[in-house]
Amino acid sequence: MIYPVILSGGVGSRLWPTSRALYPKQLLPLVSERAMLTETAIRVSGREGFAAPIIISNDEHRFIIAQQMQEAGLTPLAHILEPEGRNTAPAAAAAAAFVRDHDPEGILLVLPADHHIADIEAFQRAVGIGAALAGKGKLVTFGIVPSGPETGYGYIRKGGALADGAFEVERFVEKPDRATAESYLADGDYSWNSGIFMFRADRILDEMRAQCPEIARCAEDAVEKGVRDLDFLRLETASFGASPSDSIDYAVMEHTKDAAVVPVDMGWSDIGSWSALWEVGDKDQAGNVLSGDVITHDTRDTYVRAESGLVATLGVENLVVVETGDVTLVASRDRVQDVKKIVETLALDGRSEHQSHTRVYRPWGFYEGLDEGDRHQVKHLMVHPGASLSLQLHHKRAEHWVVVKGQARVTVGDDTFLLEENESTYIPIETRHRLENPGTEPLSIIEVQSGSYLGEDDIVRFDDVYGRDVKKPAAE
């Protein structure tokens, strides 16, 4: 049995401002109408010999991912929550420990959540070759047949031939400079390192005990001591946090004697920058890739993305223009790898635009800021059918709720009542309250906050259906 393991831990800072820490690129529909994580899960679902996917993510994204899987009609075999990011080796070890407890010789197919693959048939053929090798104890990686002298990827040099067009791995190579990359392309024995792997659960754990024993020990302990929380498996915090942070490549693949590579040409991209989205996108006659409400005139070889309003370009070329409502990025297309420097500056300046959008997703739905001023703030809340916010109070702000669509069940103090469209209620400071959607359609609320402090940390929960902390301050 093949167990797809989807790693969903990155923040995608090079795709800021669309990708942000609380809603990173793997959760976004960047290449198609579906989120990249959803595309990855669909790619490995419903196939003979495949188990349902195992997803590994952080705690912050768990309900967003669960909602996306539900909307796609997919039920993961497991959703494992990392207490903190420790890179890909500990994540893979935890997945292997989980699979080993159910199927010791089960084969893991480890996939980043945010890669694009255009040729699904080529991908499936390569996975079939990899599975045969993994079943025999090989630790398999997939090498992408290079289409140019790319300096942003690591490379794999193939060694002796194995069956079905696979090879032993002679060595892994760090990201090269331009001249070296050109020599690799001319040589013909090098491929890009895709970061996709296959190995038996028992085999990778044995190899990790030999090559990186502390990672193996910590990951196995974290799984053994992990606890179930609703539909999630929470890895034990102390054990997982004690693991060294390292990648599968560095911790295992570069040291094992049993590494194999399957070269494959499958229209692959790691979507590592805005230029990568331009490369894989559908271009108009002027070489532009356009998304959203966009008007161009005398514009060439440019990527334009409008998410909340009209964007117009005139007399420009080789640019990336991304508008998200609260941020507009304009960059030269050959400099977009440096977008992360802007993200670093935002963090150093104590700003929030690298963390979240104006729309912030919660397990019950989302809220988005509409207006903010001295002692007031206006938000739009959308609550999923059957969902409920926590029973809570605020020490420093009062709230007015106006129902604009749907039906709301509201608790204020000791009273619980229904509100219909165009009806409203008032929640005084330090009054327990709760908002629920008892209907079958999304509930939309306009919330007007007023008070001396309007931060999200001014909240005390008393009850929460999603298992979040109660009776202490926590972000809603």
Provide the whole-model pTM. 0.89
Q: Which residues pair with 144 in a beta bridge?
A: 192, 264
186/354 Cα distance (integer angstroms):
40
Q: Which residues pair with 4 in a beta bridge?
A: 109
Strands 2-8 and 328-332 turn out to be: unpaired
Query: How many Cα atoms are found within 13 Å in the side-chain-facing hemisphere of 382?
Result: 10
Q: What is the mean pLDDT of each run of 10 residues along the chain (476 residues)?
A: 95 93 94 95 95 95 93 96 95 97 94 96 97 97 93 93 95 92 93 96 97 97 94 95 96 96 96 95 97 97 96 98 96 94 95 90 92 94 96 96 97 97 97 97 97 92 87 54
Q: Output the pLDDT for position 276.
A: 94
463/204 Cα distance (integer angstroms):
42
Find all residues with CB under 8 Å of 48, minimum gap 6, and list them: none
- Residue (of 392, 429, 421, 387) closest to 404 by Cα position: 421
Measured CA distances, 285 to 289, 290, 296 (Å): 10, 12, 12
Cα maximum dimension of the chain: 76
Angle at 444 between CA 440 and CA 446, to 5 degrees: 160
Q: Output the pLDDT for position 470.
A: 80
- Residue (of 141, 176, 145, 383) closest to 252 by Cα position: 141
212/244 Cα distance (integer angstroms):
9
117/109 Cα distance (integer angstroms):
15
Helix axes 88-100, 213-224, angle to 10 degrees: 50
Residue-by-residue DSSP string for 380-448:
EEEE-TT-BPPEEE-SSEEEEEEEEES-EEEEETTEEEEE-TT-EEEE-TT--EEEE--SSS-EEEEEE
* Domains assigned to the chain: 2-269 (3.90.550.10), 280-342 (no CATH), 359-463 (2.60.120.10)
103/429 Cα distance (integer angstroms):
54
Residue-by-residue DSSP string for 258-308:
-EEEEEE-S-EE---SHHHHHHHSPP-TTS-EEESSEEEES-BS-EEEESS
Q: Output the pLDDT for position 472.
A: 53
Instruction: Specify whether the CB–CB gap between 140 and 150 falls below 8 A.
Output: no
Instruction: Specify whether the CB–CB gap between 174 and 203 falls below 8 A.
Output: no
234/394 Cα distance (integer angstroms):
29
Instruction: Specify whether the CB–CB gap between 416 and 409 falls below 8 A.
Output: yes
- Residue identified by tokens 């939309």 is 444
